[in-house]
Structure formats: C-alpha cells, structure tokens
Structure 1
C-alpha cells in the first residue's frame, strides 16, 4: 500500500511539473490525491454473484448505521483538507472524473431462467467481475504523431472501421409477399372503383414503390463519419461527459463478430438517444443499425440527415379500421424489415414506441418485434441477438413534456422548431449522459423458453398473471398475428422493458428530485438532504443498482441542484439562532431547500423523480396494501401503544395483487417468467417494517411451501386447501423510523392512486351518455384541478394525461368502459352492467380504498 501511495505521489509531482503554468493545479492535485486516498480507505472487495447468494447478508439498517458512522468521520476529515470542488473540476475538464469511480457491475446480466446459455456467452470470466469506472467517449486519445495531436478528431474519425450498408429496394419490390399484397390491393380497387385490372395493378405497384422510397433508409458510411466529427465538436458544448463501460463495448464487438443481426431495444427518453447510440457504435467499430423513426421527424434537411444516419420512417399511428385494410403499407414495411435482416443489417427501434412523458418506462409496442420474430420463424434469419439498452440524462435535453401532460396538443416538429431547439440545446448545460448496454441474449433461446412455459404451465401453476391488451394504435396487433404469437412477443417485450428499467443509470438529479418530492415536500435543510441522500445512496449500493455519480454527497447534491435549476428547486440561506435555556449563544447560517411543488413545475420535477420508482415500486405496493387493510388499526392509539397490530400474509398478497392490477398499465412489476405472487411474498419478507411472527413458520418452511405450491395440481383440491395448518402472520413495526419509512413508501404511488381514483369518480358522468376520449380526458383533468383546489388531492403531479389515459385502458380491461372508434375519434360509454350510478360508484370505491392516508404525527 505504501509503495502505491508513493507511486501516485510521484506521478502527481510529474503531472504538476509538466503543467506548472496552470494556476489552479495545486487544487487539482490535492483533490485527486485526496480522492485516491479516500478510495483506498473505503474500498472493500466485491464478491461474485455466487458468493453473495451463498453468504448471509446483514440487514440494510445494520449496514446503513455502520456506514453512516464511518462516513461522518471520514467526511469531516476530507472536507477540512479539500480545497476545491469535485464538480467544478468536472465542469472545466470533462475527463474520467465524470464517470462513476466506485466498483459497479459492468453490465446487467440477461435472465438466467429464460436464457441460461446466453448468460454464459459473449462475456469472459474476467468481465463477469467488476470494474472501477467507465469511459468518456467525448475524450479522444490524440495518438503518437504530431498530425494526430493537432487534428485528433479527424484522425479518430478516419480510423473508424468502414462497413458496407446495402440498399434493399430491388429485393423488396420483387418479393413474393409484396407482389401478393399488390394483387390483393388491385382486386380491392377493382371491386370498389370498378376500374380495369391492369390499371389497378399499375396503380398499386406505383403506390408500393412510393411507400418504400419514402420509408427506406439511405444509411451512409461517409455521412456517419462526418456527423461523428461534428458531434465531437458540438456535444462538449452542452454535455459534460458521455459515459459508457469499455467492457460492455468489448461484449458488443463479440456480438457483432458473431454474424447474427443485433436488435437494439433502447428505452426512449430523448431525440438524442439514437444519436448517442449510433455515435458510440461508430466510434467503437460496431456496425450501425437501421433505426425505426416516426414519420413526424421527416422534416426538411433533418429528415434527410436522419435517413443518412440510418433512420427509416414508419407511421406512428394508424386508424384501427382503415389500418387493417391498408395491407399494402403493412406488406411494404414487413418486407423491408425482413429483407434488411437478410442483407445483414442490424436493427434498432424503441420498444416503448415514443418518448416517455412521465420519466418511467411505458408499456411496449410490439409491432416491429413481431416482424423480427416472423423473420426467425420463417427461416429468414437463423437467430438474432437482442440488446436491451438504457440511458439516462442528468437533465433532459428535449426540455419537458409539461404542456402535453396538462392536456395541450403536442407541437409538431418543423424545420424552425428543430433549429430553435438545437440552438437552445447548445446554449444549455445538461450534465452527464450515461449509456448502458445490457448483455445480449438469443431470440431463439428466449422464444423457446416462453413456448415451453406456455406448453407446460397452466394458469393455476403460473399464479395470477396480469394480462393486458395491445394498443389499438399499434401498426401490428391481434389483427395480423395469432393470440399465441402475440403473447410470446408481448412477453419478450415486457421482459426487455423490465430489464432496461432495472439497469437504467441512476443520476444525481433523480435521487435529489425523488427525495424532495417524496420525503421533503415541505422543505428541508441542506444537512437533512445530505443525510437522506447518504442513506438512499447506501441503500441503492446495497441493492447493487447502477449509480452514475461519485464523490462527496454535498458536492453531488449541489451539482444536481444547479442542473435542476431554480425553476424546480428553491434554495434560500437563512440565519438561525441557537439558544441554551432561552439565551442566544450563537448565530449560524443554514441553507433551506424546497421543491417547487406547484403546477406546472412539479410535473417536470416528477419526471426526474419517477426514474427511481422501478426500484421501490413493489415495496410501495406492499405498504399501499397494508394501508388498505389496516386503516382502523393504524389509527388506533391503543393498538399503536401496545404495538400488537398483526396481519395475515394472504390478506397482504390479495390486496397487493389488487394494487398491481390497478396499476398494471403503469408498471411492469416483475419479469413475465416470474410468479408475481411469489415476488410479492419475497418483497414482504425483505422489508423491515413488518416481521414474521415467532409462532409462525420458519423461513425453511415458508420456502418449501412456496416450492410445493408451484407444483400443486389444480384437481387436488383437498390438498391445495389443507396443506397449510396455520396462517402466516406478520407483526407491524410502528416505531418512529418504521412509521416514517412506511409513509415515505406509501407516498410514492399516491399521485397515481389519486389520478385513478378521480378518473373512476368521473365515470359517473358517463351514465346514460357517451363522450369522446378528448372530452372525457378534460372532464377528469377538471375534476383533478377542483380536487387540488379543495385539498382532496395533495399532489400536483396527479394532474397528468398519461395516467388518465392508462386508467381508461384499465376500465376497458375491466369491461366497465366500451370504446367505439368513429371517424378517427374514440367514443367512450359505459357497458350495460355499469351504466347506472350504483355500479359506477362501486368501481370508484374499489380504487379509492387505497387512497387512505394516515397522519404519522
């Protein structure tokens, strides 16, 4: 250790000697040496996954208390000798210091249950371990020669591997499937218009060619290189660092060399997403993909540019009725994708369809994935490697979606708006961008795994799975694929979104916004925020989440606050007088921090907070279920004083499944290959706020019963009902810490519960009448605004269009609402059984049961 310290000091002295003209180099040197020393002092060896699974863990509270004590000691010492701020260095010098400096998993591994062979492929034994930091792709190694040092970016672009990107126009037009679709379209034209067959065929062929020419990509290696050089110049103007893990890139290179097409499936946050992915792949010599883009982006110049960078344009929405009749368009798109895969192209498309407006993942759109599955099943490709991709931004480059969430129409992209957005972006500061590529998995292996599950498992053995319907606006759906095929594609898509959500990098702005909205909504001091930030940071590390920040918490928080800006978070310095026995002894200055929790600002702040929800959603579901069960007991002072509130496991699970059913269009609670009921039970057992009664079963008995339940035959009714001799009970912990933890977890889902409750209440206005989707949406928005003014709803972020639309889908699924498309407009009315005040009120009460709030004071 002493030798390493001396080596680092010697390197630091050399660094200082060669940079003696820099005025603040002493500050930089001392800061870096202090950071190295702090890392050595706190670093511990990270065991492998197998060791962690086999070794009993301390509880999180025990780890948190020990870590808090250590951090208090080392933190005070570090602050005394630190002369400069970590993030000030970041702002002036975008180097490796902008990347996470702690030990983090290099990638999110693919599912060992669905794709066990893929989990052991493409990754060497060394890469299965951990690495210290990522790579900032904006920093280029200048190389040894003088020319490469002067023209480093040109030299870097010139060194990129060249790929040939063939066009498939001719092969698409001569495809038998498309020819058959042209003939069918001509037959329809003859039947409807009465024209002759030859002219109808010519017209259909011309339309097919026009569709293809407007759709196809003109991916160009030369344009990719030119754009890469421009990005090297422009990205540092508004991004401090763009981070990727080198070992992930090595994994992608192995996948690229496999000869199989790569299917990149990113979650969609910003228009910068596809630019960053293409830039990373190009700069690391991985073949660039064709990218599915909405036809709304086909605007002058930028549409041509995106096409040259790989975009092919598809209709974002089609009429549910007319779209089914437009077989020609569907056939052109289907054939273009299949022929592109046959020609060796990689494909990239956003599995959610459009950008998330709420900050959390959306439900999947499975159209293009269905085509890729068809290409495998008909033998066009022998297999494909699915690559889930997740990225996050400290500040969203696209601005915000507040207008749309308040019910205003989306502004269509034009050349003028694109130029304006580009200029404002270049003038801004958006912090750090981090991109993570999860481990690729075999489409063939996952497909066979899900097919095996469908063949062997009954609904009873699966438990109570949550099913959902396909969006009626999706290009593909149940009208073009069989139900079994659709369910397979839907399972794969949900698996990818779940994995992407779990692997999404957690930015400093996400944690700060999350704490301010859910823990310190009424404001806090900087010291309080630092303490909670430390606790959340340790919890995330303990859960082995992908944390994309490092350094002292106070520096990270100040950096996040500067990124979020005064429009979202207010800071105020205040003087406080300390007193002893009523006598003032000293005056100190504190920093008071308060989130801007009024409309419309709170909607934007909730966007950053919602990125954290996927890591806490099941805990929040369990607490919401507990509140729904124990409203009377938790409010009873005598029960609280005696601390004897108990609840049975079956009751918690039943209520939790009900909460999941209500919010099934908001979250994917578990992988499709998992049993949701078992996942909820595991969540209950991992929580500190409730403990298993001593007289109940041992942990080994609980595990064996769950294992046996998996294999229970539905016909063995007697054994199924009698295999338990006594109910499993839990005791609720109501000490102050646990009470605050419960209320914190309950707060996470309250905005959604409030929205769904008001939406269910508004169903009464449909009794005996019908409304268009737009009118019904505005009715719900109006009710939420009124409830906010009256104090019935406490969260401004409940006023949000996306959850309201999802509630309509839920009521359709419950057979409460009926939707009838009419001239491109959706008409909603109540089903016959619910077209009365009593039945509509029952729906409202079933949702409002989870709206109850307790006063922990």
Structure 2
C-alpha cells in the first residue's frame, strides 16, 4: 500500500515538474516506463534542488536586507503631477470647508489647464474662427446699474446734509445753497467712480486678448477642480467677493478673463483712479472697474465724508443688486514680492452690508496669481527712493508695446476654497468672547451679528466699535495669509532664491540641479504648489532664460582633473547671480516668494543665535559639543523677532497662537537634526516636591503644567558642519531685512532734539545703508529698499518711540520725550541689532 501511494505521489510530482520545465533531459515517451526506484531517485534529486534553491533565496534575501539597512535610502522620485488645493480654515470655517469641493476632482487633478487654449471643433470654419465662436458662447449676465439707487440712499442723503451744514458754517452761506452744491458733487463723484460694465465690451476685448496674450505669455494655468468649485459657488446665488493678492496690473484682467471664459459672473473691480486715463480708463470701466481715489482725504487730518459715503453706498447697492466684487486688500501692488499688510476699507463695507441685512451672506474667495516674470517690469526705482511715475496714455502705449515684444513665461492662478462671511464672523466673535471672558465685570457673550442700519462708512473713518475693527482686521489678515500660502511657486522664484541665498558667490549647473531636486522634494512634502514640472536641468535653463542675463550670468568653464596619473578636462556651466545694485533688488523680488516658506524657521534660528551669542563660538563648548538652550528662551527671542518684522510678514493665521506655531517650528528643526530635544532629568524626590508645592498654587493644574513644561524643555544644538551650514543659510534669509531695520534704528539719533519729514528721514536711512554697502560692512544690496525702511518706522511708532503729526499733507516724525536722547535711541538700536549677529560671520 505504501509503495502504491509513493508511486502515485511521484507520478503527480513528475507531471507538475514537466509543467515547470524542470526535467529538460527526460524524454516524454520514456516517462511512463520509469521504474519505482527511478521515480524515487528523481524525487530525491528534486528535493535536493528545492533545498538548494531555498538556501540561495535565503542568502540573497539576507544580503538584500543587510544592504537596505547599511546603505542610504534612495530619495523618492518627484511626482510628475502636483495635487494641490488650499482649503479654508478648519478652525474658523469648518462648515465651508466641507462645501463646494469634490474630493475626487482634487485628488486626481493635474498641473492645470491652459485657459488660452480653446476647443476649435471639427469643421474648417470653427477652426479658423475658434476664438469668435468661443467668445460668442460666453454666458450673458445682466449687470444692473445702481446710479439712482445710490443717489436715493438714506446714508448718502444724510452725508450730504452734514457736509452742507459744515460748509455753511465755515463759508457763511445758506444751508440750501450748500445742499445743492453737495448734491452736485455727490453725483459728479458717483459718475466718475461707477463701473459701466458691458457684456458686449467684455466679449470684444477678450476676443482681442485671446489673440494678444499668447504673444508674450506661454500659458495661463488654473486647476480644473478650482474651476468646478467656483462654478458651484456661482450657482449658490450669494455674492462672490474675490480678494487676490496684488502683483501686477494684469491681475484684474486675468481674473475677469478667467471667470468670463468659464461662465461665471464677472465682478466689479475696485481700481485706483490713477488708471482713469484717456481711452484705457473707459475700457477698464467697461470691463468692470470702478475707480477709487488713491488719497480719499485731500486734506490730511480732515475726512471727506461725502466721498466716503458715496463710495460706501455704491459698494452696498452693488452687492444688493447681485454684483460680485473684486478688490485688492493690500491696496497697491507689492513692491518687494512679499504680500503687503491688509487694508480693511472695502472689506469693512462688505462686513457692514451683511451686518445691516443688505445681504444675507457672502462667499469670500482668497486668490493668488504669480508670474514667472513680472509683466509690469520692476519696482527698482521706487525702492531706491525715486518717486513713482504716474500712469498716462503715452506710458500705457509704450508699456503695451514693450510687453508684446517680451517673453514672460507662464502665469499661474490659484483660488482658495471660498468661505462664508457669516461663519467667519461668528467664529471670530466666539474667539473674542473666549479671550475676553469679562468686560467691565460682566460676562461677555457673542452678540447677534445682524442689527439695525449701520452708521459707519469705510473702515476706521467714522465711529467704528473697536470689536468690529478687530473683526475686520482678523478677516483681512486671514485672507492675506491664505493667499500667501496658496501662491504658486514658479521656476524663477526657486532659482532666484537658490542663487541669492545659497549660491550667492556662484555655482556650477550640476550643483544647482542637485539643490533644486532637494528643494522640490521639500516643497512637495510641505504640500506647496510647485507650478513647474519636468527634469530639473530643463527647469533651470527655462528659468535662466526668463530671468535674463541682467540678473544671472552664465559662463562656460573648463575644469581639469587628475585621475589615474592622467589629466582630464571637462566643460561645465558656471552660474552666478548679479548681486550688485540695482539688479539684486529685482532678483530679491522673485526670491521673496520662497522666503515666505522658510520664514518661521529663519525666525527661530535668529532667536537661537541671539540666545547663544556667548556659547556658540566658545571653543570649549564646541570641543565638547555641548551647547544647550531652553525652549522658553528661544520662544521669547523668536517672538521678539516677529514683533520687529510684524509689518513684513503675517507669520500665522489670526486664529492661531504664534507661540505655539514657533514651538511647532522647533519640532521641524528637531526633525532636521539642527537641534535635539533633551529629556528632563530630575530625581523622584524633586518631582514629588514639585507636585506637592503645586497643591498650594491657586492656578489651574493645566495652566501650571503647560507653563512648567514650556519652561523646562531643553534643546541641544548640533554644531556639525552640515547643520551649521543649514542654520547659516536659514539665518541669511532675514539678514537683509535685519540690516535695514538696524540702520533705521541707528538713524533715530538723527532725530534727537529735532524733527524730520518721513521722506527726509527715509532718504537719510537710504544714504546710511548705501554708504555701508560701498564700504563692505553691509553684504546684502537688497537691504537698500524703501518699503522695509517705512515699515521699520511704523514699528518704532508702535513701540511708542516715534510720534508723528501732519503738516501740509506731509508726515513729520519726532522722538517721544523719553527717547529723545542718544542713550535711549542706542537701546533701540541694540535691541534690533541683537538679531543681526550670526555664527563666525560678524
């Protein structure tokens, strides 16, 4: 029986073996005549082969595991597509976060669609006239005029009466005469201000744009998921408030162009009245622009109530009529490449429209448009202190001709998820009630947001409650922060950043490719919108071509190397930024988009340097590799850096605690190895005594625990060359700004015992920085910029060091009494200069 079973098993095994082509030497005709002993021998041979195969597989597996453990991990390849979408805040607007967005479309999106390309169709006529057919199919909207509704509004009528009464008292005329004059002026202001948006003009102009834009722009890109999201928002029937960050005059044209091409209602766009020039002003008005005076109050210190009321009423009535609104919350275009601090004027009107019941809600849409090369040229003249050139018909024609002859690469538009104004207001009211639980001894509770007709006009102009002012400011800062975080990173941004802050003295093309690969991976992990694809060497060559030889120099060099007793030569490309004035200022404009991504790490490193001035260059500490710092010290120093640079960056959302964000950034530095968390080492008796002492403390356990934990956490600083180099690189990002602020603080002594106009003081500071650049004591030419100087003066005003008063439309600055001496001004200088110091440099 055993023999029969063995024979049957061997027969089955032999058939399986024949299917796997192992018995290659067996003849099929002789297989059936094999004896039982032959079958047994064949089975034994197969078992030995299987055992040997298993042994070989085990050895290969062990060798592979050893290789995996002992070798460096291979970096993951950079994905060819970027799944980027910026959601609204989960803390402030959780309901809005779950609306309007299709999760599937977000997950499967590509780099985006080029809106300059249209589907031409199959017929010959459609191919020839593709743009005409495409524009003809645009959805037609009724853009209602609100002129008469504005003139009949109670708010404007009341402003006319108040203005007439004031003028009658000052001019000695009758109130009736002044009312007639005020009514005439209000109507004149409105006619100059209002938009004359026309569906016909929109279609004609955008047919022309379809022909002209490809002459100087390679593509205009937007994500398909963002298009679908806005179409859903448009279908809600609520007013859409588009709030882009402002880089170029092309911003509002491209926004309207994109919306109209996807059948979304075009907005009324707030524009400066400097653009109301012959022909082009009429054209912009037909495209939806309404014009606002750059200086609302002609006499500083005296408010033009009539103009403000007209503007306020026009915006309110436009919202009531169902118009969408677009405005630039920064006011003007950024001159540095960083977002400007928000101005709450028009936003306060929109908030007021909701709070008095004009609209039931509105959807706020933060946006950001970025360009590989700025169409407007550059702002170098203005940053060097020269006055801005006013727009004119001739300037516009010359600018258009220059633009059409240029190559400006790609522009990318990113649209954040819209959020409900009503939800955001309620969220901030709850936060205010939580932060201020009692007011005048009474419990503070959120008030209902809708109430009777508001008497305020523009933000900060009339009697506005402080809590309402804070609400508007918080929303404005949130919008700017969201827009900056969603800003597309173009190829020119990342290449300019690397050359300016990592390879300022030049590098080879191969080195730049390696650095770009590494930074692309960092940005992908951080979920930033990297708006370019392809091989890094191609990205670099494209960016260098866009930036041009005026900003980056390329040189072919021959390098000789000795190998195996032979001298070999090879050619490489050396790349160096033009780091002299004024070119470096333009270069820094493109690099500043990337500075925003690393600014918190740079702030923390500056805080670490300031806290460890004496220890970090101590030879004994370096030899022992033992340089430690407490968390609370770093957080305190980093918060002071943020206070100095408060008008340069918005470091976090208004709903976040900046101290906690800095602690999270310390965790990021821990992950890179720059610092290492040291565990607390206390005896059990000491811990017991601390817990026992805590029972006598009136503060809550949670509050005490948090404070104690923050105070006692300690970090060890790594002094290895790799980590030291990374810290120097991070600290370099803020050095140009710190240098500017340092010389502004140094120049305060020029105000001791006297006063100066803001323009004269700015010129004094510019001259001081220029002198030190020529001497070589300032290493960064981009420190010579007007905008950071003006921001530094705002900081000194906020610190109550400076005071100002208007005199004939000129801002006069002087030192407060307690700072009106050289000792006091020197303390301010030392406070700022403490963060200029760095390791083994100064």
Q: Same fold (TM over 0.5)?
A: yes
Report the equivalent of 1:662: 644
**CA offset at residue 70 of structure 1?**
6.0
State the alpha-carbon separation in 2 of the partners of residues 212 and 447 from structure 1: 30
CA 726–619 in structure 1, closer or farther in 2 if over 3 Å, else same: closer
Superposed CA deviations along residues 99-148 of structure 1, whole A, max 9, x for unmatched, are: x951322x200000000000001112323424123100111101233322
Q: Distance in 2 between matches of 1:243 and 1:565?
A: 23
Partner of 1:166: 144
Within the candidate set 724, 727, 749, 1:742 is matched to 727
Q: Does 1:614 align with 2:596?
A: yes
In structure 2, the residue matched to 1:852 is 837
| 1:790 aligned partner | 775
Query: Among 329, 337, 340, which residue is 1:362 paired with?
Result: 340
Q: Within the alignment, does 1:635 sit opposite 2:613 as a pair?
A: no
In structure 2, distance between residues paired with 1:609 and 1:719: 43
- 2:538 is matched with which residue: 555, 568, 577? 555
Distance 1:455 1:320, change over 3 A: farther
Is the CA contact (8 Å cut-off) linking 2:617 and 2:839 kept in structure 1?
yes
Matched, 1:759 2:744: yes
Give runs of aligned pairs for residues 721-740 of structure 1, distance below 5 A: 723-724=708-709, 727-740=712-725
> Of residues 603, 607, 610 in structure 2, which corresponds to 1:625?
607
What's the RMSD between the two structures over aligned residues?
A: 2.3
Which of residues 211, 217, 231 in structure 1 aligns to 2:189?
211
Query: Offset of 1:194 from its aligned partner?
Result: 1.2
Q: Please say if 1:280 is aligned against 2:258.
A: yes
**Alignment match of 2:81 (pick from 102, 125, 136):** 102
Give the Cα–Cα distance (whole angstroms) in 1 for the partners of residues 130 and 596 of structure 2. 41
133-142 vs 409-418, which moves further = 133-142
Q: Residues 366 and 713 from structure 1, CA distance in 2 versus in 1: closer, same or farther, beyond 3 angstroms?
A: farther
Deviations 1:24-58 (Å, cap 9, x if unpaired)? xxxxxxxxxxxxxxxxxxxxxxxxxxxxxxxxxxx
Work out whether residues 324 and 479 of structure 1, in 8 Å CA contact, stay in contact via their aligned partners in 2: no
1:792-811 to 2 correspondence within 5 Å? 792-811=777-796
- The 5-angstrom pairing of residues 140-539 of structure 1 reads 140-319=118-297, 322=300, 324-458=302-436, 476-477=459-460, 479-539=462-522
Give distance in 1, aligned partners of 2:531 and 2:131.
27
Q: CA deviation at 1:415?
A: 0.3
In the alignment, the residues of structure 2 paired with residue 275 and residue 213 of structure 1 have an alpha-carbon distance, to the nearest angstrom, of 22
Secondary structure in structure 1 of the residue aligned to 2:104: coil
CA distance in 2, matches of 1:116, 1:269: 30
Separation of aligned partners in 2, 1:318 and 1:397: 28
Q: Is the 8 A contact 2:296 2:307 kept in 1?
A: no
Do structure 1's residue 543 and structure 2's residue 526 form an aligned pair?
A: yes
SS in 2 for 1:611: helix
Determine helix, strand or coil for the equivalent of 2:676.
strand
1:137 to 94, 102, 115: 115
Distance in structure 2 (CA, Å) of the matches to 1:373 and 1:293: 20
1:318, 1:475 within 8 Å by CA — same for their partners in 2? no
Kindly provide the CA deviation profile for residues 693-734 of structure 1, in whole angstroms up to 9, marking residues without a partner as x. 14469xxxxxxxxxxxxxx99788994797549710001112
Matching residue of 1:671: 653
Alpha-carbon shift at residue 213 of structure 1 (Å)? 0.2
Kindly indicate whether the alpha-carbon contact (under 8 Å) linking 1:494 and 1:672 is maintained by their aligned counterparts in 2.
yes
Larger radius of gyration between Structure 1 and Structure 2? 2
- TM-score, normalised to structure 1, is 0.84
Q: Which residue of 2 aligns with 1:684?
A: 666
Contact map agreement 1:568 1:595 (CA 8 A) in 2 = yes
Per the TM alignment, residue 319 of structure 1 is displaced from its structure 2 partner at its CA by 4.1
Quote the Cα distance in structure 2 between the aligned partners of 1:598 and 1:65: 40
In structure 2, C-alpha distance between the alignment counterparts of 1:142 and 1:326, rounded to whole Å? 53
Match of 1:771 in 2: 756
Distance 1:808 1:162 in 2: 50
DSSP-derived class of the 1:149 partner: helix
| Structure 1 alignment gaps of length 5 or more | 1-61, 72-99, 461-473, 698-711
Q: Distance in 2 between matches of 1:198 and 1:246?
A: 59
1:573 to 556, 570, 583: 556
Q: Are positions 1:651 and 2:633 aligned together?
A: yes
1:94 aligns to what?
none
**Greater Cα offset, 726-735 or 817-826:** 726-735
Offset, 1:580? 4.0
Q: Which residue of the other structure, out of 579, 585, 588, is the alignment partner of 1:603?
A: 585
Q: 3-state SS of the aligned residue for 2:734?
A: helix
- How has the CA–CA distance of structure 1 residues 242 and 717 changed in structure 2, closer, same or farther, with 3 Å as cutoff? closer
1:198 to 1:658, Cα distance in 2 relative to 1, 3 A: same
Question: In structure 2, do the counterparts of structure 1 residues 182 and 144 end up closer, same or farther at CA, with 3 Å as the change threshold?
Answer: same
1-structure distance, mates of 2:711, 2:528: 37
Conserved in 2, the CA contact under 8 Å of 1:696 and 1:728? no
Distance 1:847-1:479 versus aligned 2 partners, 3 A rule: farther
- In 2, distance between residues paired with 1:197 and 1:715? 64
SS at match of 1:390: strand
Q: Does structure 1 retain, via aligned residues, the 8 Å contact 2:819–2:825?
A: yes
Cα drift, residue 613 of structure 1: 1.5
8 A Cα contact 2:301 2:806, kept in partner: no
* SS across alignment from 1:436: strand
Q: 1:591 aligns with which of 557, 570, 573?
A: 573
- Structure 2 match to 1:85: none
Q: 1:186 to 1:148 in 2, by over 3 A?
A: same
SS at structure 1 position matched to 2:122: coil
Q: How many correspondences in the alignment?
A: 739
Contact 1:569 1:593 in 2 (8 A): yes
1:822 aligns to what? 807
Shift of 1:769: 0.3
Task: Find the counterpart in structure 2 of residue 28 from structure 1.
Answer: none
Shift of 1:828: 0.3
| Cα deviation 1:343-397 (Å, max 9, x = unaligned) | 0000000011100000010000110000000000000000000000111000000
- Indicate if the aligned counterparts of 1:646 and 1:730 stay in contact, CA closer than 8 A: yes
TM-score of the pair, normalised by structure 2:
0.85
How far apart in 2 are the matches of 1:451 and 1:725? 29
Query: Over residues 623-678 of structure 1, what are the superposed CA-to-partner deviations in whole Å (9 max), with x where a residue is unaligned?
Result: 00011111222212332232111100000000000000000000000000000000
Residue deviations 1:179-228, cap 9 Å, x none? 11111111112111111222111111000000000000000010000111
Counterparts of 1:323 and 1:765 in 2: how far apart (Å)? 26
Measure, in 1, the Cα distance between the counterparts of 2:680 and 2:800: 43
For the residue of structure 2 that corresponds to 1:127, the secondary structure is: helix
- When residues 344 and 735 of structure 1 are mapped into structure 2, their CA distance, relative to the original with a 3 A threshold, is same
Distance 2:607 2:310 in 1: 49
Distance (Å, rounded) in 1 between the aligned partners of 2:711 and 2:259? 58
- Structure 1 residue 523, shift from structure 2 partner: 0.5
Alignment of 1:1-12 (within 5 A): none
Q: Is the 8 A contact 1:740 1:856 kept in 2?
A: no
**Distance in 2 (alpha carbons) for counterparts of 1:641 and 1:686:** 26
Q: 1:796 to 1:380 in 2, by over 3 A?
A: same
